[in-house]
Amino acid sequence: MCAAAPQHSGSNRVDIDMVAVAALERDAELMLRVREGDSASFSLLLERHRGPVIHFLFRMVQNQAVAEELAQEVFFRVYRSRASYEPTARFTTWLFRIATHLALNWIRDERHENGNESIEDETGNEGIARQFSDRAPTVEQVMVRRAKLAEVRAAIEALPPKQKAAVLMHKYQEMDYAQIAAILNSSESAVKSLLFRAYETLRSRLAHMA
């Protein structure tokens, strides 16, 4: 399956890298303008990163209301510390470092207070309902899909928090090892090992779905 996967050609990769670099420079530039008091630049940054941050936090805490609350705190902290911003690291690294820190703290506190419970929120069902109206799958297909999704969510939820954060950043945010390492404040080799163990666990837990 993977052996047949198409690889990026050299020129394509260069183009993608240049686009990525331009986006990073744009983020830093916008943040520098925010530092100078330009609120329109803050709105642009919010527009660009609101979705990825909320989605990451949603998958971390598996609750939309909490994810949005934490995301508000992330952007509020960005705004509050705008005066001390220096473009020494990628803006997204800084942003996701704040988000990961808040999510890990929330998970720690939640486990202390309520124990480990799975959260079936209305938004997960909304997605299925939306697809139901578009493609009209059978009730059986919906239920199978819902069951599979619940298993995936439970398998990810059961990972140790740091492994979970690393997997989510690697899979959904498509971050490289260096950036994940910078966000988790660990070495690149430690992140590689963390991801390898996390995926090993997921492979074994989701093996029956293959």
Footprint of another protein on this chain (CB under 8 A)?
1-3, 5-10, 46, 50-51, 54-55, 58-59, 64, 68, 71-72, 75-76, 79-80, 83, 121, 123-124, 126-127, 145, 148-149, 151-153, 156, 170-172, 176, 192-193, 195-196, 199, 202-203, 206-207, 209-210
What is the Cα–Cα distance from 18 to 29, expressed in whole angstroms?
16
What is the Cα–Cα distance from 84 to 32, expressed in whole angstroms?
10
Based on CB atoms, which residue is closest to another protein, 51 or 115?
Answer: 51
Based on CB atoms, which residue is closest to another protein, 71 or 95?
Answer: 71
In whole angstroms, how far apart are CA 180 and each of 1, 45, 115, 186? 27, 21, 28, 8
What is the Cα–Cα distance from 13 to 145, expressed in whole angstroms?
35
DSSP state letters, 97-149: HHHHHHHHHHHHHHHHHH-S-----HHHHHHHHHHHHHH---HHHHHHHHHHH
Based on CB atoms, which residue is closest to another protein, 153 or 162?
Answer: 153
Based on CB atoms, which residue is closest to another protein, 139 or 210?
Answer: 210
Provide the minimum distance between the beta carbon of 114 and another protein in the complex, in angstroms, as a whole number: 22
Provide the minimum distance between the beta carbon of 85 and another protein in the complex, in angstroms, as a whole number: 13
Provide the minimum distance between the beta carbon of 97 and another protein in the complex, in angstroms, as a whole number: 19
Based on CB atoms, which residue is closest to another protein, 112 or 183?
Answer: 183
Provide the minimum distance between the beta carbon of 112 and another protein in the complex, in angstroms, as a whole number: 26
Provide the minimum distance between the beta carbon of 167 and another protein in the complex, in angstroms, as a whole number: 8
Determine the residue type at 77: R
